[in-house]
């Protein structure tokens, strides 16, 4: 414990020395701030400023009309369900990839990132082709009265596709780092395999699981491309929030589109802060364990 403040002071001194020795601080930081402002910060503040041209009543009418509220409910509900499915499926896939060996494992591992690499529009039409009544999967389900495309089910399925890699890729490295010795100790103390998983392994991967959940959820909230093909886009039923913005833009209702966008932006900002806090927590946890 006594070594920590000493080490920190030494580190700070070394960093200060580095600042003297390594050139380019002003150049790189200056360029970073300039580019960040031009591409991200100024455009986003234009969005917020635009809402100030609305009166409070106009703003409220735009963001709380029944059709928009229905869209929020669908977006949040479907994103929540999809992210929860991804937590279970993502943990399963990560577990299988880390703990077991089987033929084709490397290909499966590479394939997990497909939703990152495949353009969302392509994912959207591919899933629709599969799940429509004449698709490979759809024609098996249609006789049983199950319809997965052109309704809310389709929205959830597209969002599951989009979010899967977030959970797998946050849990996988943590699972790789868990110490086998702890599991052996648990077994020696008489724990069953399930108890070992529940009380030893699960607590160490829980923060990563939560981070993955939040990332998949955040991505699902904003997702547009993959959803619109499969959703059917019926107002009040299967119309997602980003589509509301597009719809308002097409009617030249810039103020209304902006108001809904600001609500979404505020929400993504909160989620971003939550994810950051979770990652700090996770780092502190793993730092404390060693």
Partner 1 sequence: MSATRAARQAKAGTTEPAWVKWTLISLALGFIFLFLLLPLAAVFTEALRKGVGAYLEALTEPDAWTAIRLTLITAAIAVPLNLVFGVAAAWAIAKYEFRGKAFLTTLVDLPFSVSPVVAGLVYVLLFGAHGWMGPWLQAHDIKIIFAVPGIVLATIFVTFPFIARELIPLMQAQGTEEEQAAMVLGASGWQTFWHVTLPNIKWGLVYGVILCNARAMGEFGAVSVVSGHIRGQTNTMPLHVEILYNEYQSVAAFAVASLLALLAVATLLIKSVVEWQFEREMHAAAALPPERPTAPVVA
Contacts (CB under 8 A) with partner 1, residues 227-256: 229, 241-242, 245-246, 249, 252, 254
230: how many CB neighbours lie within 10 A of its CB? 29
Nearer to partner 1, 62 or 218 (CB): 218
Site track 173-212 with partner 1 (rule: CB under 8 A), x = hit: -------x--xx-xxx--x-x--x----------------
Burial class (CB in 10 A: 0-12, 13-18, 19+), 170: buried
Spell 242-254 as b/e; 16+ CB within 10 A means b. Answer: bbbbebbeeeeee
Tabulate helix, strand, coil % of the chain (nearest 5): 80, 0, 20
Nearer to partner 1, 69 or 125 (CB): 125
Site track 76-105 with partner 1 (rule: CB under 8 A), x = hit: -------------x--xx-xxx-xx-x---
Least distance CB 157 / partner 1 (angstroms):
8
Member of 54, 149, 155, 160 binding partner 1 (CB under 8 A): 160
Member of 23, 143, 287, 288 binding partner 1 (CB under 8 A): 23
Distance of CA 195 to the CA centre of its chain: 30
Pick from 236, 256, 249: which is nearest to 58 by CA?
A: 256
Nearer to partner 1, 2 or 290 (CB): 290
């Amino acid at each position: 414990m006594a070594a920590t403040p000493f080490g920190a002071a030494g580190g700070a001194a070394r960093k200060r020395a580095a600042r003297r020795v390594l050139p380019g601080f002003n150049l790189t930081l200056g360029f970073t701030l300039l580019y960040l402002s031009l591409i991200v910060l100024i455009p986003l503040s234009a969005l917020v400023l635009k809402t100030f041209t609305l009166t409070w009543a106009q703003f409220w009418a735009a963001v709380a009309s029944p059709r928009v509220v229905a869209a929020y409910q669908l977006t949040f509900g479907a994103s929540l369900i999809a992210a929860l499915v991804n937590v279970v499926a993502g943990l399963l896939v990560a577990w299988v990839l880390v703990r077991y060996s089987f033929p084709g494992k490397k290909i499966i591992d590479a394939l997990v990132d497909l939703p990152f690499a495949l353009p969302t529009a392509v994912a959207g039409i591919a899933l629709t082709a599969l799940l429509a009544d004449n698709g490979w999967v759809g024609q098996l389900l249609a006789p049983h009265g199950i319809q997965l495309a052109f309704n809310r089910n389709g929205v959830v399925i597209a969002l599951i596709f989009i979010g899967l890699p977030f959970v797998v890729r946050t849990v996988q490295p943590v699972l790789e780092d868990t110490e086998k010795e702890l599991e052996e100790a648990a077994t020696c103390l008489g724990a069953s395999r399930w108890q070992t998983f529940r009380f030893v392994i699960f607590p160490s991967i829980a923060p990563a699981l939560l981070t993955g959940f939040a990332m998949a959820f955040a991505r699902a909230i904003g997702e547009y491309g993959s959803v619109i093909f499969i959703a059917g886009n019926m107002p009040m039923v299967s119309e997602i929030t980003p589509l509301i913005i597009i719809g308002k833009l097409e009617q030249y209702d810039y103020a209304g589109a902006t108001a809904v966008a600001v609500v979404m932006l505020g929400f993504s900002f909160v989620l971003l802060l939550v994810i950051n806090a979770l990652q700090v927590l996770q780092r502190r946890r793993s730092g404390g364990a060693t």
